[in-house]
């Protein structure tokens, strides 16, 4: 009766390792600490039985189908999570958190980050052009091609240098916070994906 749901293993005795492996597989994506705790309990059960002279196969059979046992553990965990008002199972199960992440990214998230990236690239281009003009003016001055309007050219040069410095500062800060912001944004997405939209 205990193996009815498992055609493959019907009536086939398992040893301790096989039983624990099956159980751990069936527990699926339960938190690691919980799985470890459960495994320890069942392992202890085997050890106690063996010390009483029972065989591993016998103990495994009386423990019941590992799949059924895993489901009972999962039901218990679900109950705990409801009791603790934790959102993880709800967010994961009903999928609203995941749908939100996908929709938000399609319409807002990805677009926003692309616009910001475009702004940074644009600033880089402007800086490039700016430095180019500065280079041309300096080169022309050195080669003595500019004979008239020297004072206005110097003013223009100073202005362009100021713009370049401003852009460099802006880009350094921009890239730094773009990285930080993107990281935080990804973290937030992952949280919503796993835990759903909630207070915590």
| Contact status, residue 30 vs residue 69, Cβ threshold 8 Å | no
Encoded tokens for 156? 């223009």
Q: Which two tokens stand for residue 177?
A: 């916070």
In terms of CB distance, is 25 or 80 closer to other proteins? 80
Interaction site with other proteins (CB under 8 A):
2, 37-38, 40-42, 44-45, 47-49, 51, 59, 62-65, 68-69, 72-73, 75-77, 79-80, 83
- We find the least distance from the C-beta atom of residue 6 to other proteins, in angstroms, to be 14
| Of 63 and 167, CB closest to other proteins | 63
Q: Do 174 and 120 form a contact (C-beta atoms < 8 A)?
A: yes
Nearer to other proteins, 20 or 101 (CB): 20
CB-nearer residue toward other proteins: 66 or 196: 66
Kindly state the smallest distance separating residue 176's Cβ from other proteins, in Å.
44
Q: How far is the C-alpha of 195 from the C-alpha of 59, rounded, in Å?
A: 38
In whole angstroms, the minimum distance from the beta carbon of 93 to other proteins comes to 19
Q: Which stretches within the chain are classed as H helix? A: 16-27, 32-51, 56-63, 66-83, 88-94, 96-104, 110-142, 150-195
Cβ proximity to other proteins: between 47 and 154 the closer is 47
Rounded least distance, CB 20 to other proteins, Å: 12
- What is the 3-state secondary structure of 110-159? HHHHHHHHHHHHHHHHHHHHHHHHHHHHHHHHHCCCCCCCHHHHHHHHHH
CA distance 56 to 143: 93
Closer CB to other proteins, residue 40 or residue 96? 40
């Amino acid at each position: 009766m205990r193996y009815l749901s498992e055609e493959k293993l019907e009536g086939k005795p398992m040893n301790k390792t096989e039983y624990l492996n099956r159980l751990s597989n069936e527990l699926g994506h339960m938190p690691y600490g919980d799985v470890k705790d459960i495994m320890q309990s069942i392992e202890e059960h085997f050890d106690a039985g063996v010390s009483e002279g029972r065989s591993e196969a016998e103990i495994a059979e009386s423990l019941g189908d590992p799949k059924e046992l895993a489901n009972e553990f999962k039901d218990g965990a679900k109950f705990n999570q409801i009791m603790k008002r934790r959102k993880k199972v709800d967010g994961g199960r009903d999928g609203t958190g995941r749908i939100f992440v996908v929709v938000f990214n399609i319409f807002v998230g990805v677009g926003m980050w692309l616009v910001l990236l475009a702004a940074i690239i644009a600033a880089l281009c402007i800086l490039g052009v700016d430095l180019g003009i500065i280079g041309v003016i300096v080169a022309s001055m050195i080669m003595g091609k500019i004979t008239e309007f020297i004072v206005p050219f110097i003013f223009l040069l100073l202005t362009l240098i100021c713009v370049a410095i401003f852009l460099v500062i802006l880009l350094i800060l921009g890239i730094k916070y773009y990285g930080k912001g993107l990281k935080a944004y990804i973290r937030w997405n992952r949280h919503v994906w796993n835990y759903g939209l909630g207070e915590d």
